[in-house]
Amino acid sequence: MLDLTENALAILERRYLNRDEKGEIIESTEELFDRVAKSIAEIDLVYGAKEEEVAALHDRFYHLMTSLDFLPNSPTLMNAGLPLGQLSACFVLPVPDTMEGIFEAVKNTALIHKSGGGTGFSFSRLRPKGSVVRSTGGVASGPISFMKVFNTATEAVKQGGKRRGANMGILRVDHPDILEFIKCKEDKSELTNFNLSVGITEEFMAAVRKKETYPLRDPIGKKVMGVLDAAQVFKLIVEKAWESGEPGIVFLDRINGDNPLQHMGEIESTNPCGEQPLLPNESCNLGSINLARMGKDDGRGIDYEKLKEKVHLAVHFLDNVIDANTYPLPEIEARSKETRKIGLGVMGFADLLTLLGISYDSEEAVTVAEQIMKFINSEAKKASMNLAQDRGTFPQYHGSRWEKENMPLRNATTTTIAPTGTISMIAGCSSGIEPLFAVAYTKVCMDEDKLMEVHPVFKRLALEKGFYTPELMEKVKKLGSVSMIKGIPDEVKRIFVTTQDISPYWHVRLQAAFQKYTDNAVSKTINFPRNAHVKEIEEAYFLAYELGCKGLTVYRDGSREGQVLNVGEVT
Ligand code: CDP
């Protein structure tokens, strides 16, 4: 029997276990992990491994996942070893300024969503609203109206799918339609299947600081079409984010500055949750180490030997996924195999802190974050270099930054911090690098039942320290926070600090700490209390910029209806 929570089993049954044509489940949870382990291990045959070596690897991959030390992204769990075989979570598709190109991208989006992947797009190449269309003599409808077409297509594909289709839409801050873009979620029924981010440039940030204007440019030919007051645009972005959490921001120039593949062109977009900047037509598969399982048994510190072993095995796993993958389009297959990007990250960070007895909102937590991620990033690189010795570097290595730095890598990027929205539920740990959202929470899955869980580490600690009572657990479920409950020792309360009680400053500090040692980007929500002031959001944006983050997503409590996670019981 696998050590899975009821919540995890419910999720696996509902969406992950393989089914026959009639919709009947035809595999057990063990069989799911075995199917995935086997199909990913078998790739080693291509690289000359012997049958018995592959059998041993199959076994190691199986234990890597069933121990819940590591899980790959959802599409790999759902589809590996099955005919569909689409294993990646992240895609970026090009949206060119032609009618054929736009609708080709809509079709490709539908194909990717059907297979469980998410799509990101830059709409910055589309000519602005009102420009002349030469072939017809008419006027162009502009990026936002085309985004609505993508949104509607996503809505249609969602029905009957295993996973909601998710999109990221990015528009550069110097696109002439930027004001319409920033305001387009004022109507809450618009673009519901999109996350929106403004692509921020260094030119814009400099103008904000100097309180100057900045130019808007025609995407075709780059002619200056007007100017806007940078500080006012920035203020508008902040106000809208305060109202609805959107748009977010991505620092495009910073992403491109860090891009190790500058010889391949510019990065214009990220995947839906922002953690994976990609070139047009690139895909990436993610996987996350469960830090909740990387503490030493005596609770004193991190088991770095274990962590190292898991990182090396996980990089091997993720590199194999690139070859095991069935790609939705030939151009995506070609691009993805040229760069061989993988995104190894973490989940259960907040759980680890509880094991170490550290509060999330502390310098100690920042130090732990930096130490762990530095270690993972460096071991992931070593693992990727080991693979390159047998398998060769990624085909676009020549001309890349890695070649200049004399690091023969198998993968152009190795680390990414994903949100781990579902896989952390399967692993029964806190999601990604987020603080504990609550000590008990409900989660709406695919708009169906609300599942209730008390945090497993809290429960264990309550039993160990002798303050567990069913009544107390019920109270925790009801309130979601332990701060007001009597009978819980203060030191326990301090380490079970939850999102609502953590200031935005610490949220940003932790995001920046992880970003420092992550190749790609970090998925993180900067939570604000309901009564937060607009100014506080602005401060968080500046702090994120100063600390080297690649983007920022904010959320003010209660500002969006249909919130996925709710603190405590909803009665
Ligand atoms: O936990 P899981 O592997 O299901 O996914 P995640 O870490 O929450 O999300 C990773 C990425 O998967 C997102 O950034 C999206 O690119 C994609 N995704 C999606 O396409 N649709 C969803 N409903 C959830 C995630």
Q: Where are the alpha helices (DSSP H) in 73-141?
A: 74-79, 99-114
Residue 412 Cβ inside 6 Å of ligand 1? The answer reads: no
State ipTM: 0.96
pLDDT tens-digit series, residues 440-460:
866 555 555 565 778 878 888
Say if residue 161's pLDDT is above 80: no
Helix (H, G, I), strand (E, B), or coil: what is residue 314?
Answer: helix
CA distances from 34 to 38, 53, 62, 146, 458 (A): 6, 16, 6, 43, 31
Atom from ligand 1 closest to the CA of residue 90: 16
DSSP secondary structure string for all residues of 122-167: E-TTSPPTT-B-TTTS-B--HHHHHHHHHHHHHHHHHTT-SS---E
Ranges of H-type helices in 211-286: 230-244, 252-258
Averaged pLDDT of the chain: 93
CA 446 – ligand 1 centroid, Å: 13
At 27-56, the pLDDT tens digits run 999 999 999 999 999 999 999 999 999 999
Mean pLDDT of 65-93: 96
Question: In whole angstroms, how far apart are CA 61 and each of 3, 37, 64?
Answer: 16, 5, 5
Tokens encoding 378: 């460096």
Nearest to 169 by CA among 65, 71, 272: 272
Length of the chain: 571
pLDDT at 137 over 90: no
Q: How far is the CA of 533 from the centre of ligand 1 (A)?
A: 30
Q: What is the mean pLDDT of residues 55-67?
A: 98
The CB of 287 under 6 Å from ligand 1? The reply is: no
**Span 491-519, pLDDT tens digits:** 899 999 999 889 999 999 999 999 999 99
Q: Which atom of ligand 1 is nearest to the CA of 163?
A: 23
Q: Which of 88, 146, 142, 133 is nearest to 115 (CA)?
A: 88
Distance CA 211, CA 172 (A): 19
Q: Dihedral, CA atoms, 201, 204, 205, 209, nearest 10 degrees?
A: 170
The whole model's pTM is what? 0.94
CA angle 8, 423, 456 (to 5 degrees): 55
pLDDT number for residue 571 = 31
* Residues annotated as catalytic (active site), given as ranges: 271, 273, 275
Q: Can you tell me whether residue 235 is helix, strand or coil?
A: helix
Share of the chain above pLDDT 70, in %: 95
- Closest C-alpha residue for ligand 1 atom 13: 273
pLDDT of residue 570: 37
Averaged over 364-375, what is the pLDDT?
Answer: 98
SS3 state at 428: coil
Helix, strand or coil, per DSSP, at residue 525: strand
Ligand 1 contact via 271 beta carbon (within 6 Å): yes
pLDDT of residue 35: 98
How many C-beta atoms lie closer than 10 Å to residue 100's C-beta? 8
Ligand 1 close to Cβ of residue 217 (< 6 A): no
Asked if pLDDT for residue 569 goes beyond 50, the answer is no
Which of 145-149, 256-260, 387-391, 560-564 bottoms out in mean pLDDT, i.e. has the lowest?
A: 560-564
Measuring from atom 6 of ligand 1, which residue has the nearest CA? 420
Cα gap 114→310, rounded to integer Å: 31
The rounded distance, in Å, linking the Cα atoms of 271 and 3 is 32
Is residue 417 within 6 Å of ligand 1 at its C-beta? no
Is residue 162 within 6 Å of ligand 1 at its C-beta?
Answer: no
Q: For residue 274, is it left (φ>0), alpha (ψ between -120 and 50) or beta?
A: left
Q: Whose CA is nearest to atom 23 of ligand 1?
A: 164
Q: Does ligand 1 lie within 6 Å of residue 423's CB atom?
A: yes
Q: Name the more confident of 453 and 284.
A: 284
Question: From atom 5 of ligand 1, which residue's Cα is the shortest distance away?
Answer: 420
d(CA 459, CA 540): 34
